[in-house]
Structure 1
C-alpha cells in the first residue's frame, strides 16, 4: 500500500476522543465536552449559590431538586456550544462520588440515559480526581507529583507516582479547610458562602490577631482545623464581651494566615520528602487569593514547579470531570449501567488499573 492510500484510509492516525462530562456532586449543575482530555470545547455551569444563601449553607434536598430542574437544559447547551453531534461523542462521563447522594443520583441517571440512548461507554469518575486533573486543562502534569487538595469537604495531600495513580499521604482529621472558612465567616457575620469574604478581608487588613497553628505530631502530613475554628469563636466572644466592634479584619487575617502557613509548610515538606517533582493546587479553596499568592511565593523560593488552575476550573465544573475520565478512557476502563452513587468513594481505589 502506498503512502497516499494510507493517508486516505487514516491508517495509524490517532482518533480524537470527545467526552461529554456531567457534574452534580453538590450545588453546581454542569456539563462539558472535552477533547482528548485537555481541550475544553464547552463547559456550562449553573450555580445554586443564590438559592442556598437563604439557608446559610447547602440543603441537600433543595440541591437535588435544582439539579433535576437544570440538567436537561445544561446538557443541551453543552453539546450545542461544543459543536459536536451526539453520535460523534466517544463516551459519557459522570461524577459517581464523593458528594451528596441525591445530587449525585441526578447526574448519574442523566448520564446513564444518554449512554444507553447513544450506545456510548459510561465512565464513572471521582470528584477529587477531577479537581486534580483540572490542572491538565491548562498545563502539562509531570510525574511523580504531589496534589494539595483544598475544598469544602476535603483537605488532602495526594502523591501521584504516575498518571492516574493516587496515594493519600495526608488528610484532614476533622473540618476540611472550606468548612472552617464557612464557619469562621458565619461567626464574623458574613453570608454563605463565606470563604471569599474572609479572604478579601484578610488580604486588606493591616492588623492581625495571633491564632494557633495545628501541626499535629512531628512528621505528620494530616490536617486539623477544628481547634483553630474554636479559637476564632472564643476570640470573637472575648472581643464582644469587651464591647469591641472593629475586630473582624484582624481575626480574618489571623485565621487565614494560620490556615495558609500549615497548608504551605506541609505541602512543601511533602515535596522535599518524596520523589515528587511538581506541586498541584486543587479544589474550590484553590481560588483563595491569599493561598495562591503564598504558595506561589514559597514554591518560587524553593524552586518547586507549581500548577494552579484558573479560577473557573477551581470550583466544581464538568470540564475537570472530563479531564479525569480521559484517564479511564485511555485504559479502556468503563462502568456499566448498574453504576450507582458512592458518597464516600475512595480516591485510591478509583486509581487507573496498572
Structure 2
C-alpha cells in the first residue's frame, strides 16, 4: 500500500478549541492561489473564499512555463491573495485552525514560495501546519462537492501527470498504471506550440479541434496493443503530430484537422486504458458503489470527459469530475487535504522540505518506476 509521505509528526499545537477553517496555498507551477474552506456539522465542505492569479500573459511569449518567471510572480502575489480571501470571508487569524500548503511535486522555486509562506503563518499565529502533496489535492478535489466516498478509481491526468490510482483513503493510494514518458497535458501544449495556436495549449487545441475533421490525420495510439499493462505513452504521438505539421503547409483547415485528430488519439488511449482499469478495480476492491473520478487539468477537456463518462456508464461506474474551476491548479483542493489532515491531527513539523518529485504511491514509484529517477527519487 502506497502513501504520500513518511510518518507524519505531530506538532505541539492547541487544536481542540480551534475551528475547522483551513487556509490553503498553491504555487506548484504557474498559478498562485489561496483559499479558505470549512467543514460543517453535517460533513459538507464549504469554500468560503478563493483566489487564483494566472500567469498566462507572463509565459505566453515562450509557449510554456518559465520556472524563474513563475517563482517571481508567486512572490509578488501570494501575500496579497491571502489578504483578499480573508477579507472576502470576513475571517481573522483567530478564526483559522491551520494552514496547508503545496509542498511538492512541482517547480521547486514556486513550491518554496507557498511552503515558506505557510510556515511563516503557522509560526506567527501558532496554528498547525500541513504539508500537502499537490497530486493528493487533485485526487481528493471531487470531495469538495461532497459526492465521493472512499474507495474510488481515479484517473489523474494533467500537464505533468497521467496515472490510474486506487484511492483508498487519505494518504492511501495504489498506482495501477502510468505514462512511461510524457503526460497528455504536455502533449497538448507541445501540439499548440508547434502550430502557433496560443498558450495555454490545452484549451487552444480544444478550440481548434471543434472545426476539424478528427479522422483527417492518421496518428498512432502507442502501447494500446499491449494487453498486460495499464501504462501509456504520449511521446510518440507528439512526434507523429510534428511530422504531420511538417508534411504540408499549415492552413487553418490543416491546423483544425490536426488538432481534432490529436485530441481523438488522446481520448482513444485514455478510454481504452480506463476500461481496463475499471475491470481491474472491480477485481481488487469489494465496493457496492463503483466510482470513477477524473481530475487534473486535462479533465477540463469536454471531448475527453464525454468519452470517459461513456466508458464509465458502460462499465457500471458512477462518473464524477470536479467543477471546471477545480480541475486545474487551485488552492481549494489543497485546503481540503489540509482539512482532512487537520481533523486527524496529522500535522507536519516546520522542517519539512519542498519536493520537486513526490509520487502518491511511493512503493510503486520505488519498486516499479514508470519513468525517470535519480538522486531526487522516483519521478513518477
Pairwise same-fold verdict (TM > 0.5) = yes
Counterparts of 1:167 and 1:38, CA distance in 2: 26
Contact 2:212 2:253 in 1 (8 A): no
Contact 2:213 2:261 in 1 (8 A): no
Counterparts of 2:109 and 2:17, CA distance in 1: 39
Say if 1:212 and 1:349 are closer, same or farther in 2 by CA, change over 3 A. closer
Asked whether 1:213 is paired with 2:221, we answer yes
Task: Quote the offset at 1:295 in angstroms.
Answer: 1.4
Counterparts of 2:128 and 2:122, CA distance in 1: 6
The match for 1:102 is 109
Q: Partner of 2:253: helix, strand, or coil?
A: coil
Counterparts of 2:294 and 2:113, CA distance in 1: 29
Task: Quote the offset at 1:155 in angstroms.
Answer: 0.6
Counterparts of 1:74 and 1:166, CA distance in 2: 32
**Unaligned stretches of 5+ residues in structure 1:** 1-12
Task: Quote the offset at 1:19 in angstroms.
Answer: 0.5
Moved more, 267-276 or 62-71: 267-276
Question: How much is the aligned-residue C-alpha RMSD, in angstroms?
Answer: 2.0
Task: Quote the offset at 1:207 in angstroms.
Answer: 5.0
Instruction: Report the structure number with the largest CA radius of gyration.
Output: 1
1:25 to 24, 28, 32: 28
The match for 1:4 is none
Q: 1:204-243 counterparts in 2 under 5 A? A: 204-206=211-213, 208=215, 209-215=217-223, 217-240=226-249
Q: Partner of 1:161: helix, strand, or coil?
A: strand
What do residues 268-319 of structure 1 show as CA deviations (whole Å, max 9, x unaligned)? 2211222352111100111111111111222223331011111110111100
What do residues 214-256 of structure 1 show as CA deviations (whole Å, max 9, x unaligned)? 135322111110001111111111123xx87731122111111
Segments ≥4 residues shifted beyond 4 Å: 13-16
Counterparts of 1:105 and 1:18, CA distance in 2: 23
Asked whether 1:272 is paired with 2:285, we answer no
Q: Partner of 1:224: helix, strand, or coil?
A: coil
Equivalent residue pairs, number: 336
Contact 1:202 1:253 in 2 (8 A): yes
**Unaligned stretches of 5+ residues in structure 2:** 1-15, 364-380
Q: Partner of 2:248: helix, strand, or coil?
A: helix
What do residues 24-43 of structure 1 show as CA deviations (whole Å, max 9, x unaligned)? 11111111001128210011
